[in-house]
Amino acid sequence: MRSTVRDVREKAGDEPITMLTAYDAVTAEIVDEQGVDVILVGDSIGNTKLGHESTLPVTVDEMASATAAVSRATEDALVVADMPFLSYGHDEKESIENAGRMLKEAGAHAVKLESGPHTVELTERMSQLGIPVMAHLGLTPQRVNQLGYARQGTTEEAAAEMLDLAVAHEEAGAFSLVLEHVPANVAREVTEAVSMPTIGIGAGPHCDGQVLVVDDAVGLSSWTPSFVEEFGDVREAMADAVDGYREAVETGEFPAGEHSHVEDELDDIY
C-alpha cells in the first residue's frame, strides 16, 4: 500500500526513514520492490541522466515526465518530485502551478523545494493548498553559482541560520526536511529542534532518515562525493554485459540458432 506523508512522519523516531532517488520506471520499480520508503525524483536527473554539469538546466517538463514514469512504476513508495531551478520562488502563482503539475499530471505525492528565507511563505501556501512540501537546507545545488558544492553550516552563524530556517519551514507546514552536506553535530541539533523528520545526505547518522542518489548507491556513477557509500557495482556489471554483447556480435556467436526462427512454409521460396 502506498506510503503517505503521515506514514513517513510516524516512522520517524521509530526506525530510520529510507529514501533514494529514481528517474525512470525500471529503477523506480527496483527501489520500490526493496521497500524504500520514499522515492525522490531529484533534479539530480540533470547530472545523472541528462548529461548536464549541474541541476540548473533541468525543466519542469523533464521533471514531470520523469516523475510520471516513477509514479506509474511504483506501488508503495511515497513519490516526491523535486522542483527545478527557477520553477518556484519568484512568483507565487507560477510556483504553485508548477508544483501542482507534479501532483495532478505526474502522480507525485509531494514536492521538494530547495529552501531559504524566500520559501517560507510559499511552503505555507502550498501546504494549505494540499501540496505537501519537503524542505531542503544545507548544500542546495541550485545555488551552485553562489555556494559551489561546499559543506554548509560550518560556522556558528550559518548553523544558527539553518536552525532558524528549519523551524520556520516546519511552522510553515513542511512535512520533512532534507539536510545536505552539513556537519553531523549541526544535523543532530536541527533534528532535535524540529518534530518533522530530517533526512540526511552527507549529514551524519543523527537524522531521522537517509537519502542517496540511486546511481551513487548502486555504483553506477563514474564519480561520487566522499559521503557516499556504493552498495554495488552496477557500472562494472553493465560494462561487462555491453562488452560481452559487442564481442558476441563481432565474433558471430550472437545471434545463435536459439535466437532466431526459420519459417518452414517459406523454405521453398527463400
211 binds, among ligand KIV, Na ion, none (CB under 5 to 8 A by kind): ligand KIV
Q: How far is the CB of 131 from ligand KIV (least distance, A)?
A: 17
Please give the single-letter amino acid code of residue 129.
L
Among 108, 182, 203, 211, contact with ligand KIV (rule: CB under 6 A): 211
Q: Which helix (H) or strand (E) holds 95?
A: helix 92-104
Q: Is 236 a catalytic residue?
A: no
Q: How far is CA 5 from CA 46, 150, 242, 258, in A?
A: 26, 30, 40, 50
- Is it true that the peptide bond before 205 is cis, omega within 30 degrees of 0? no
User: Which grid coordinates belong to 129?
Assistant: 493548498
User: Which grid coordinates belong to 64?
Assistant: 514531470
Catalytic: which of 10, 33, 97, 180? 180
- As a whole number of angstroms, the distance between CA 266 and CA 100 comes to 57
| x-or-dash string of contact with Na ion, 22-61, rule CB under 5 A | --------------------xx------------------
From the CB of residue 219, how many other CB atoms can be counted at a distance below 10 Å?
A: 18
What residue is closest to ligand KIV based on CB? 42
Among 168, 186, 190, 213, contact with ligand KIV (rule: CB under 6 A): 213
Q: Which 32-61 positions form the footprint of ligand KIV (CB under 6 A)?
A: 40, 42-44
Binding residues for 3-methyl-2-oxobutanoate, by number, are: 43-44, 82, 112
Pick the closest to residue 87 from 114, 107, 109 (CA basis).
114
213 binds, among ligand KIV, Na ion, none (CB under 5 to 8 A by kind): ligand KIV
36 binds, among ligand KIV, Na ion, none (CB under 5 to 8 A by kind): none
Pick the closest to residue 82 from 149, 5, 136 (CA basis).
136
Instruction: Number of residues interacting with ligand KIV: please give it, by CB under 6 A.
Output: 11
Q: Which 6-35 positions form the footprint of ligand KIV (CB under 6 A)?
A: 21
Q: How far is the CB of 212 from ligand KIV (least distance, A)?
A: 7
Asked whether position 82 contacts ligand KIV by CB under 6 A, the answer is yes
Among 32, 82, 170, 216, contact with Na ion (rule: CB under 5 A): 82
Asked whether position 180 contacts Na ion by CB under 5 A, the answer is no
- Overall size of the chain counted in residues: 270
Q: Which helix (H) or strand (E) holds 210?
A: strand 209-212
CA 209 to chain CA centroid, nearest Å:
14
Helices and strands (H and E) in the chain: how many: 11, 8
Footprint of Na ion (CB under 5 A): 42-43, 82
Give contact residues for ligand KIV (rule: CB under 6 A).
21, 40, 42-44, 82, 178, 180, 201, 211, 213
Which residues are catalytically annotated? Answer: 180
